[in-house]
Amino acid sequence: MSTTPRGDSAAPARDSAPVQRTRNKRSSMAKAEQRAGLTLISPTLIIVLVLIVIPILWTIMLSFQQIRLLNLRTAGVLGNYTVSNFAEVFSSPGFLEALIITLVYSVAGTGLAIGLGLVTALALRKPFRGRTFVRAATLIPYVAPIVAVTFVWTTMLNPQFGIINHWGTTFLGWEEAVPFLSERQREVSFLGITFTVPTALFTVIAFEAWRSFPFAFLFLTARLQAVPASLDEAARVDGATPTQRFRYILLPQLLPTIAVLSVLRFIWTFNSFDDIYLLTGGGAGTEVVAVRVYNFLISRGDIGAAAAQAVVLAAILAVLVGIYLKFFAKKEEVS
Amino acid sequence: MSTNVRTRRERGAIAARRPWSRDRVETLILTILRWVVIAGILLVTLFPFYYMIILSVRPISSLLQDPGSLWVSASEFSLDTYTSVLQNPSEGGQGFLIFMRNSALVAVGTVFATLLLAIPGSYAISRLDFFGRRKVSALFLAVYLFPSILLAIPLFVFFTRIGLRGELLGLLLVYVAQVVPVSIYMLRNYFETIPISLEEAASIDGANRFTIMRRISLPLAMPAIVSNGLYIFMIAWNEFLFALLFLVESRQNWTVSLGLSQLAGSIEVPTTVLMAGSVILTLPIIIIFFAAERLLTEGLTAGAEKG
């Protein structure tokens, strides 16, 4: 199988590695190929190393230094290294709170987005007139510029002239306008039971679900199209009802895709900065770690503490990416 | 549409004659639910954009008088908001025309620079057997998944020190570095669908590696390259965090996203004028998206599948 040095293009990586190591005599063509490959990839590699890899390493170094924006110009690479930033970060209640908010936001946002995406994918499964349009329209929230959509949302939710509050007070009998993005929590009575609801956090979660459900929809639709029709027909002949067909035929087919989606969306939501920064600025109990890092960097000018928090965020993420690579990426590569 | 109604009515008639089986009830409920869901989705996804357009052609006074209105009467319709948002600050406007030029420069520059790097890079990864190929792929995947806030601190520090902060060029470089890995993934997937035999045939005919790339692989990969370019344009046009970090102090270099977000916080600029700014920011993306929808949705899944 792997006697030719080039291997088959469809599954090259795994085959070619041992070939390279056990090279006895390499043809000049293989050497030329080696050279060409390195030449073609090196510009990309250099820019990624300089602007991504080295900065990441630098963040780690900064997180062990007491650097502020003010003394930035005088600080050298060989400054005093200390763990005080981390001690400060872990002992401050603000960071742990931000971490919990980030987790709640990511889990709820991911779950809602995938649930909504699944419902949409199922509803648009059978063809109907205008389906192409509906599909394209569904994707708009995901592709539209984040600044524009957050601005529309803040305007819609505005307590003075926002349309949601206007309708709520006019038609739904709300007693007062709800400041959706600036209120930490509120008491809501439903069926005689009173709940305390974190208003702003729920609003940003709803926004996250609205913004990213199209992504889940796209993936699930692609997977649904690959499910063979014969499976569904066979179940129908056997007398399975629609919900049974979904539960026992479709869902098992979709589960791997849902798993990959969950990890991907979780990672992205976990890191996300733009949405919350633009909606609430991190106020009213919505300060996720990414926004907190930004605030430490810009408002306080405390580079060391900002870096330490970013490193902790990345470390948690690295574990998640590791899990993803171990369990999902391999499987996909094979299929 | 009419056939649809008829079949549903027929189905209802049959169901009325026969006993209510679970299958029948479920089918009926799900058929209704399906249309409810479709209507709901259309409403939820399109309404904010409709609201955006409506507000952008109303004067602020009419919005404050009647916040619940869902249409614009001919008497209040005006495009003054657009002239006001586009004009230079010296003429009393918000200067969005300059912001658009900045955004376009950065986005188009990012597209060309990225493709210049990504086309040879992805070709190498998909076709050529070189030492460390596997590691390079893994590195790019990791880059794709890592938080950009982690890069924000050192890049902010670095660009402040070398004096590139506040320059569009600095922003462009950062965008290229962030987008190249994704771009390589998408293009690599496409290159791998092109039969290698085509290249081998050219090679037997005496073409060298460069000629093969230029004459065989590149033309075949053109659809993927175009959609990839559009995708990169959208990312660069929409980007916010690094624009905020690098450009916030130099107003003449603001991108549309940054300009809108900065002005949204001030009280002096009327909301309706900024809505016109939102429309201006969103419109290019929507046009590109609908023009190349099929290409892009394939690209979105292809790019993200590996990520």
Nearest to A119 among B37, B181, B237 (CB): B37
Cβ burial, residue A326 (10 Å; 0-12/13-18/19+) = exposed
Residues 67-126 of A with CB under 8 A from B: 72-73, 119-120, 123-124, 126
* A162 neighbourhood in chain B, CB within 8 Å: 67
Whether the per-residue pLDDT at A14 is higher than 60: the answer is no
The SS3 assignment for A15 reads helix
**What is the predicted pLDDT for the residue at A114?**
95
Whether the per-residue pLDDT at B5 is higher than 80: the answer is no
pLDDT in tens, B176-217: 988 888 888 888 888 888 777 877 888 888 877 778 888 878
Whether the per-residue pLDDT at B160 is higher than 50: the answer is yes
A121-151 b/e (C-beta count within 10 Å ≥ 16 → b): bbbbeeeeeeeeebbbbbbbbbbbbbbbbbb
* A332 neighbourhood in chain B, CB within 8 Å: 305-306
**What is the predicted pLDDT for the residue at A33?**
77
**What is the predicted pLDDT for the residue at B306?**
36
> Which helix (H) or strand (E) element contains residue B49?
helix B22-56
Residues 258-297 of A with CB under 8 A from B: 264, 267, 270-271, 273-274, 278, 290, 293-294, 297
pLDDT in tens, B80-124: 888 888 888 777 778 888 899 999 999 999 999 999 988 888 888
Are residues A152 and B117, on separate chains, in Cβ contact within 8 Å?
A: no
Strand pairing report for A193-197 and A186-190: antiparallel
In eight-state DSSP terms, residue A25 is: S
User: Which residue bears the tokens 């006001």?
Assistant: B84
Q: From B261, which residue of chain A is nearest by alpha-carbon distance? A: A147
In eight-state DSSP terms, residue A186 is: E
Domain ranges of chain A: 92-334
Whether the per-residue pLDDT at A232 is higher than 50: the answer is yes
Is residue A315 within 8 angstroms of chain B, CB to CB?
Answer: no
Nearest to A33 among B64, B129, B153 (CB): B129
d(CA B51, CA B62): 14
**What is the predicted pLDDT for the residue at A204?**
94
Interface test with B, best of A4, A40, A85, A309 (most B CBs within 10 A): A40
B1-33 b/e (C-beta count within 10 Å ≥ 16 → b): eeeeeeeeeeeeeeeeeeeeeebbebbbebbee
Is residue B54 within 8 angstroms of chain A, CB to CB?
Answer: no
Whether the per-residue pLDDT at B32 is higher than 60: the answer is yes
Helix intervals (H) in B128-163: 133-145, 148-162
Nearest to B127 among A9, A17, A43 (CB): A9
pLDDT in tens, A261-277: 888 888 889 888 999 99
In eight-state DSSP terms, residue A285 is: T
**What is the predicted pLDDT for the residue at A73?**
63
Cross-strand bridge partners of residue A65? A81
Distance from CA of B96 to the nearest CA of A (A): 14
The CATH number corresponding to A92-334 among 3.20.20.80, 1.10.287.1260, 2.60.120.620, 1.10.3720.10 equals 1.10.3720.10
Q: Which amino acid is at A44?
A: T
Distance from CA of B18 to the nearest CA of A (A): 16
Interface test with A, best of B2, B129, B293 (most A CBs within 10 A): B129
